[in-house]
Amino acid sequence: MRTLATTSPSFDSDFVALRAHADEVDLNITNTVADVISRIRAEGDRALIELTQRFDRLDLTPAELRIDPREIAIAAATITPKLKNALELAAARIEAFHRTQLPSDLHFTDAVGADLGVHWTPLDSVGIYVPGGKASYPSSVLMNAIPARIAGVPRIAMVVPAPDNMLDPLVLAAAHLAGVNEIYRIGGAQAVAALAYGTPTIRPVDRIVGPGNAYVAEAKRQVFGRVGIDNIAGPSEILIIADAKNNPSHIALDLIAQAEHAADSQCILITTDPVLADLTAAAISDALRTLPRAAIAAESLRQHGAIILARDLDEAAGLANRIAPEHLQIMTKNPQYLLSQIRHAGAIFVGPYAPTAIGDYVAGPNHVLPTASTSRFSSGLSVLDFLKRSTIVSLNLPALAAIGPAAVTLAEAENLHGHGRSIRARLGTNEL
C-alpha cells in the first residue's frame, strides 16, 4: 500500500489521484448496457434467454426462467444446521433493527382549522438483485428482502444469475427464510431491464434494489426514472481512523476484509502514528500469505489502497468527510469525539470490537450502502426505501376562507387564472 503524509507538498494532488477511480466512467459499459436494455424492451423473453445463454452459458425456456418454489424449499431443507442457525440469527437481528424504522402517519389541525397530514403506504412491487457467479451472497438476500417485507410490499421478485446452472442453495435458503418465492435465474443488465420494463414472463416492478457488478450498476442508472432504485453501487470501500493504541493485525484484517471483495475495492487507513502505519503494512503482508482470495485483495490494496499519516485526529476527521466512505471504522481512545465530527459515511463502526465485517452479516443495520462519496447526499437501504408518503389536506369553508385569498393572489401573479377561479368558486365571490 502506498503511504501519503498530509505534510507533503504533493498531498492534495496525491489525495485527488487516490480517489479518482471512484469517478471513472467506462463508455464501453454504458453503450453495452444501453444495447441490452433496448433488446429486452423490444424482444422480451427471447432476448433475455439469448443473453442468459451468452453470458451465463445457461439454456432456458420461458417456463424455466423462474425457479420452481419446490426447488427453493428443497434448498432450504438441505443446508446444514450451523448455516441455518446463522441465517436465522442474521434475519432476526436485521428484522428487529429495521422494524424500529417504520414511520407513523402524521395528522394535525393548524391554527386556521386546516386538517393536514402524511400517510405512508408500501410500494406495490420490488425487484431484488442478488449477485451470483464468482461470489454468493445470501446476506444480501436478507438485507434487501426483510426491509421490503417489513414495509408491507406485497410482491418481491428476486433475480440471481446461475452461470453454468450453478446456484448456491444458501441463497435460495435465505430467500425462503425472508419469504421470497418469486425468483428468476437471470442476472446482469438484462435482469435489471426485465425487472424495469417487464417481459411476457416477468412482470415489471416499481423499484430495484441490491448490489451487482459494473454492468448491473449502469443498468440501474439507465432505468432510473422508469423505476426507482436504491443507489448506483460502486466498488466497496472502507476507511479506518486509528490511533496508536490499536492492534495492527486487527486493522490489517479489517482492510483485507474489504479488499477481498474485488480488485477495485478501496481500503484506506488514516493514522497519526507512523509506527502503527508501518506495523499495519507488515501485518497486511503476513495475513495475505494465508488468505484464499489473496490475489484479489493484494491487487486492490496495491492499486487503490493507502495509509495516510495525519497531523492529528481533527485533520483525520476532515479527510474522512472529504472521502465520505461507504464504511468508516473509528478506532481511537475517544471515539465519540471523532464521531461528533463525521458528517458523511454510509455506516460507522465504533471501537476496537466493531469490525465492518460484523455489519455485513449480523449487526442488524443494512449493508447496502452508498459508495463513491455518495454518502454526502444519500443513505443506506432502509424500510423507508420501500415506502412512499402522501400528504393529506382537508379544509372546511372557514379554513379555505382564511388562506384562499392569498392563494388566489399568488395564482394570478403566476398568470394561472384557472387556479384562482377554482378557489374563488368555493368562496362564492368574484373579488377577493
44-103+118-229 has the same fold as 2-24+235-377: yes
Beta-carbon contacts of residue 339 (< 8 Å; ≥ 6 apart)? 330, 348, 350
Decide if 327 is catalytic.
yes
Average pLDDT, the chain: 95
pLDDT tens digits for range 59-101: 999 999 999 999 999 999 999 999 999 999 999 999 999 999 9
pLDDT in tens, 382-408: 999 999 999 999 999 999 999 999 999
Per DSSP, the chain holds a count of helices (H) and strands (E) of: 18, 14
CB 29 within 8 Å of CB 272: no
Question: What pLDDT, in 10s, does the model give residues 116-174?
Answer: 999 999 999 999 999 986 567 999 999 999 999 999 999 999 999 999 999 999 999 99
Radius of gyration of the chain (CA): 26
DSSP codes of every residue in 273-313 = -HHHHHHHHHHHHHHHTT-TTHHHHHHHHHHH-EEEE-SSH
Contacts of 116 (CB under 8 A, 6+ apart): 107, 108, 109, 110, 391, 392, 393, 394
**pLDDT tens column, 226-265:** 999 999 988 999 999 999 999 999 999 999 999 999 999 9
- 46: left (phi > 0), else alpha (psi -120 to 50), else beta? alpha
- Number of Cβ within 10 Å of residue 77's Cβ equals 11
Q: Which band of pLDDT confidence, cut at 50, 70 and 90, is reported for residue 191?
A: very high
pLDDT at 430: 61
Question: pLDDT tens digits, residue range 284-336?
Answer: 999 999 999 999 999 999 999 999 999 999 999 999 999 999 999 999 999 99
Please identify which of the residues 260, 326, 344, 367 carries the catalytic annotation: 326
Catalytic residue, from 250, 327, 344, 367: name it: 327
| Predicted pLDDT at 133 | 64
Distance CA 423, CA 98 (A): 43
Instruction: Quote the pTM value.
Output: 0.93
Confidence (pLDDT) at 23: 61
Between CA 295 and CA 120 the distance in angstroms is 48
Instruction: Enumerate long-range contacts of 33-37, CB under 8 Å, 24 or more apart.
Output: 33/189, 33/215, 33/218, 33/219, 33/222, 34/222, 36/188, 36/189, 36/190, 36/193, 36/215, 36/219, 37/189, 37/192, 37/193, 37/196, 37/197, 37/219, 37/222, 37/223
Measured distance CA(194)–CA(186) in Å, rounded: 9
Q: Which of 106, 109, 100, 108 is nearest to 119 (CA)?
A: 106
Sequence-separated (6 or more) residues with CB below 8 Å from residue 429? none
pLDDT of residue 234: 87
Overall fold of domain 2-24+235-377: Rossmann fold (3.40.50)
Dihedral (Cα; 89, 95, 98, 100), 10-degree rounding: -100
> For the domain with range 44-103+118-229, which CATH number is right: 3.50.50.60, 3.30.460.10, 3.40.50.1980, 3.40.50.720?
3.40.50.1980
Q: Cβ(411)–Cβ(417) under 8 Å?
A: yes
Task: Return the domain boundaries, the chain.
Answer: 2-24+235-377, 44-103+118-229, 395-427
